[in-house]
Structure 1
Amino acid sequence: MPVKAVVGMQWGDEGKGKIVDVLSAEADLVVRAAGGSNAGHTIIRGGKKTVLHLVPSGILHEYSRCLLGAGMVIEPSKLREELDVLEQFGTPRVGQRVGVDPQAMLILPWHKAIEHVREARPDALGTTLRGIGPAYESRASRLGIPLALLAHPELLKTALEALYLDYQPIFELGNEPVISPSEQFADLMQVAGWLVPMFTDVSLETARASAEGRFVLLEGAQGVMLDSLHGTYPFVTSSSTVFGGLLSGIGLGNGMVSDVVGVCKAYATRVGNGPFPTELEDETGKHLAAFGGEYGATTGRLRRCGWLDAVALKKAVRLVGSSQLALTKVDVLCDLPEIKVAVAYEDTDGTVLADFPCDPYRAAQMKPVYRSFAPWRAPSDDAVLPDELQEYISFLEGFTATRVSLVSWGPDRSQTLVRDAGGVCRSLNP
């Protein structure tokens, strides 16, 4: 069976959770590579809503095993809370079906304290305040605390002392007290009892599953335009969100993956600060936010909304190498008199740009050049897309040279159509 990957193609919040839930119905293994509880994947099935921040979305399928890769940063209390909620939700055998790579890094209260100090400054980035960035920084500085140290108490004590010493000058800039290394050690020893038994070599387990012919699904977090290298720096996340980052965070070679599904909304959103060329700060933007329910699953913050940026999407396709696209939330655009898509940019000197600039500071100054489309009625379960929506999809396929294979509307997984290369759709069995 193939290894398939799902990657967000915009600034996050594209609906990856729903698409992973759809695709993982037959998956034996669902694996997440990077990020932490800054990601939020909302899944609605049978009218019941679940928001997952750490555990892969495939956990709602009874026979899927879900793994958290070495590239992740994990706050133990958030993971424990999520596992408990899943059990209360009626999810079977949660503890036995979730595995965690011991090379993933711990997020400690210290990391969150550091981030609060930085985000109180005038030049704040608008982060989720979950300690994600500082945790990745501590890994890069070789002072981070990998989960593996939970199984080695004496080494853990030494590592905590070193990290605390490094952070102490920044702690002094904040107004809140922080716990001591000894208190932090005691808390982590309580965590070790339930977390250490979940350790697994995610790279090895994933490779073996693939070699045995089982279906493996890789779950990306955030979106390509937030990639730490190729996104709109410094307004990016702290990990790699492109396909290569997915492989690195799990520990797989490129040749093992046969299919990459890029997920994008029929419009665009962004949380926090940073360039967003197609942002709408008018009534249309308010309409998209209201009808799209554009509030962050992690922070609850109102998302900035705008038209679909096909130029940025074309860049994302290039960075990811996606073989197909899943287009979500097409129903949100139904009541608008006109629908627009950015097909180029106009620079400050009047130059028209056909590609997203690699200079992120230049991106903040560009004005979009739009193409207009007629609105469409909402799709239905009869597996027939409106002609106007088919035209919109055909344009995106031509512009990005990538087939749209899934079309989604509404929150429930049953509100999804599978679309073949000829544009013919079939309903997804709920």
Structure 2
Amino acid sequence: MPATVILGGQWGDESKAKVVDFLMSSHEAVIRFQGGANAGHTVVNDDGTFKFHQIPSGILYPDVTAVMGNGMVIDPFAFRDELGELLNRSIDVAGRLLLSSAAQVVMPHHKFIDSLMEGELKKNHIGSTGKGIGPAYSSKHSRRGMRMSDFLLSKEDLHEVVTRATEWGNRDIELFGAPPLSTKKVAADFVNIQELLSPMFTDTQELVTRWKQEGKNIMLEGAQGTLLDIDHGTYP
């Protein structure tokens, strides 16, 4: 499986999407494998300007399959809005925009905690985009998060999962002296978006393994930049 990997060598804003768009014609699939809605990938073509945050920018090629992989933290509501913009501009994604069921979900408390942490740091703030990316990855590694696969549960079970995760988040919110989120409202919002997301889920690990066997040309579209990495970049 030949693969082309596009990564940023700085703090982001290296025109990664422009490079992806330039090279995409020789590839059959594109995979976003990390990050979330804090990315801002802009493509300008004959149809105008497109701004991507979570959906791989290679989706603009009609014969390309786009995958949002298990390493991402996905904001389902931001995804809904981004998808809506593509559909409004007659970009057909049916059957070729796929979501990993193992990806983590960015929840409302993640974004709230993100903003609270930035406010607490004051002049030493790290310049977070407020999209909840860091807190979502923290929930993932502490096993207190929600996976995209939870959208495949019954409405009742999904409601329970969202309620439990939000209760965990509210404990952290209360440490800042801020008011907790309404678990009832958050759970209802997630149940309402369930129908939109469910048809797009797939086992991306099995899919990529099959692509490897078939020798497909794959584009791996990175987000942010190397110098934002907590191991290889600046810290804190």
Assess same fold via TM > 0.5.
yes
Q: How far apart, CA to CA, are the structure 2 residues paired with 1:47 and 1:225?
A: 33
For 1:11 and 1:233, how far apart are their aligned partners in 2?
A: 12
Could you say which residue in structure 1 is the equivalent of 2:230? 228
| Alpha-carbon distance change, 210 to 11 in structure 1, aligned in 2, over 3 angstroms | same
Name the SS for the 1:185 alignment partner: helix
Q: Counting strand residues as a fraction of each chain, which structure ranks higher?
A: 1
> Highest CA radius of gyration, 1 or 2?
1
Question: Once the two structures are superposed, what CA deviation does each residue of 1:132-183 show, in whole Å capped at 9, x if it has no partner?
Answer: 11111111110100011111245434433433333334323355x5542222
Q: Aligned partner of 2:35: which letter?
A: G
State the alpha-carbon separation in 1 of the partners of residues 60 and 167 from structure 2: 42
Q: 1:112 maps to which residue?
A: 111
Taking only the aligned residue pairs, the percentage that are identical comes to 38
8 Å CA contact retained: 1:31, 1:218: yes
**1:63 CA drift (Å):** 0.4
Q: Could you tell me how far 1:185 is from its partner in structure 2?
A: 1.7
Q: Compared with structure 1, are the counterparts of its residues 28 and 124 closer, same or farther at alpha carbon in structure 2 (3 Å cutoff)?
A: same
Matches within 5 A, 1:11-410: 11-46=11-46, 48-91=48-91, 93-121=92-120, 122=122, 123-153=124-154, 154-172=156-174, 173=176, 175=178, 177-234=179-236
SS at match of 2:51: strand
CA offset digits 1:275-305 (Å, max 9, x no partner): xxxxxxxxxxxxxxxxxxxxxxxxxxxxxxx
Aligned residues, how many? 232
- Across the aligned residues of Structure 1 and Structure 2, the Cα RMSD in angstroms comes to 1.7
Describe the superposition over 1:365-390 as per-residue Cα deviations: whole angstroms up to 9, x where unpaired. xxxxxxxxxxxxxxxxxxxxxxxxxx
| Partner Cα distance (1:180, 1:36) in 2 | 24
CA contact (8 A) 1:149 1:156 kept: yes
Do the aligned partners of 2:163 and 2:186 also contact (CA within 8 Å) in 1? no
Q: Report how far residue 38 of structure 1 moved.
A: 0.4
Q: Distance in 2 between matches of 1:98 and 1:107?
A: 19
**Structure 2 CA distance, aligned partners of 1:86 and 1:174?**
40
- The unaligned stretches of length 5 or more in structure 2 are none
For residues 10-60 of structure 1, give each alpha carbon's deviation from its aligned partner in whole angstroms, at most 9, with x where no partner exists: 111100001011111122110110100001101111271111001111111
Note if contact 1:29-1:206 (Cα within 8 Å) is conserved in structure 2.
no
Identify, as 1 or 2, the structure richer in helix.
2
Aligned partner letter, 2:74: I
Judge conservation of contact 1:157–1:181 (CA < 8 Å) in 2: no
Residue of structure 2 in register with 1:403 after alignment: none
Give the unaligned 5+ runs of structure 1: 235-430
Q: Secondary structure at the match of 1:70?
A: coil
1:219 aligned partner, one-letter code = E
Q: Helix, strand or coil: the match of 1:8?
A: coil
Higher relative contact order (CA 8 A, sep 6+): 2
- What's the offset of the Cα at 1:8? 1.1
2: CA distance between counterparts of 1:118 and 1:224? 23
Deviation at 1:110, TM superposition (A): 1.0
Question: Structure 2 CA distance, aligned partners of 1:2 and 1:168?
Answer: 45
Secondary structure at 1:84 match in 2:
helix
Structure-2 change in CA distance of 1:112 and 1:174 (3 Å): farther
